[in-house]
């Protein structure tokens, strides 16, 4: 069996059987980001075969230089959003469906037009004209590795960019009237504000992250399509949720995203020791 296919099988098994791995075996571990994305694509095929549904877009991670240096990458990475793991706000989640519950408030975009793969890079202005709406979102980051800060970048890419689930708010068509750079976001847990952030935490502007993704997908001979949803990375420090938490990401004029983790209060918080820098 091809080593990358074996890696995809092992990561799929970890999800289906809810058993984490310390790492991928040396003989199956992807050694480059390109190999990581190849495993990711095969993993997504296995997830869609098991859960049904389809790929509906992308999530972006590791948007800060410190995070990239931590896992020895020179740019962000992406994962794919799957319809079976995408929920509309307000959402009720089973806490036991996740190994860890890392909460990331994120600005997201819905594409109005295609940005197909091409030989020349897209600029931010061209990308912006293809956007139909902006929407508030929360990504629940999860990992199939027991100590996921100890594995390398290609292994995290292979694990579908550490996506666990994604919750979306209502789209806003008049998004260009919003100054996303200075737009403030508050994360409220059980009625208490626990994190604050702004849009400029995402590579200076969420559109910069979207532009990076559009050009990255060109390298992979694909592209963005009308209707795709893209989550651009956390704009606050992360929060590790407990079972029983009621969470609200407040994006002010853009609305809120709400979710509840059902389960016993005694359920353990996210395992391992996720570094906040790694998640931005």
Domain for residue 35, yes or no? no
Domain for residue 210, yes or no? yes
For residue 60, the enclosing domain spans 47-279
Q: Give the pLDDT confidence score for residue 1 in this predicted structure.
A: 56
Domain for residue 200, yes or no? yes
Domain for residue 262, yes or no? yes
CA angle 240, 241, 242 (to 5 degrees): 125
Q: Is 145 strand, coil or helix?
A: strand
Domain for residue 6, yes or no? no
Domain for residue 71, yes or no? yes
Which residue stretches of the chain have pLDDT < 70?
A: 1, 264-280
Report the predicted TM-score, pTM, of the whole model to 2 decimal places. 0.93
State CA 68 to chain mean position distance: 15
Domain for residue 236, yes or no? yes
Domain for residue 208, yes or no? yes
Domain count, the chain: 1
Q: Give the pLDDT confidence score for residue 272 in this predicted structure.
A: 46
Q: Give the pLDDT confidence score for residue 12 in this predicted structure.
A: 97
Are 119 and 154 within 8 A, CB to CB? Answer: no
**Domain containing residue 101: CATH number:** 3.90.850.10
Q: Can you give the C-alpha Rg of the chain in angstroms?
A: 18
């Amino acid at each position: 069996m091809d080593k990358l296919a074996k890696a995809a099988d092992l990561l799929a098994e970890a999800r289906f059987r809810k058993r984490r791995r310390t790492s991928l075996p040396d003989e199956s571990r992807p050694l480059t980001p390109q190999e990581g994305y190849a495993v990711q694509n095969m993993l997504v095929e296995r997830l869609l075969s098991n859960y049904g549904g389809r790929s509906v877009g992308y999530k972006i991670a590791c948007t800060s230089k410190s995070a990239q240096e931590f896992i020895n990458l020179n740019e962000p990475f992406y994962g794919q959003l799957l319809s079976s793991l995408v929920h509309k706000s307000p959402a009720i989640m089973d806490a036991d469906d996740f190994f860890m519950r890392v909460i990331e408030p994120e600005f997201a975009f819905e594409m109005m037009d295609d940005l197909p793969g091409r030989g020349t890079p897209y600029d931010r202005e061209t990308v912006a004209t293809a956007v139909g709406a902006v929407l508030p979102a929360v990504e629940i980051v999860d990992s199939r590795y027991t100590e996921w800060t100890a594995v390398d970048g290609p292994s995290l890419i292979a694990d579908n960019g550490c996506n666990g689930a994604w919750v979306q708010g209502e789209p806003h068509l008049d998004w260009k009237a919003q100054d996303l750079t200075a737009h403030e976001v508050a994360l409220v847990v059980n009625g208490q504000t626990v994190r604050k952030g702004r849009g400029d935490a995402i590579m200076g502007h969420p559109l910069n992250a979207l532009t990076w993704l559009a050009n990255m997908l060109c390298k992979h001979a694909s592209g963005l399509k009308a209707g795709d949803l893209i989550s651009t990375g956390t704009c606050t420090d992360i929060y590790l949720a407990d079972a029983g938490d009621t969470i609200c990401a407040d994006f002010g004029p853009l609305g809120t995203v709400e979710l509840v983790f059902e389960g016993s209060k005694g359920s353990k918080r996210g395992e391992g020791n996720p570094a906040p820098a790694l998640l931005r």
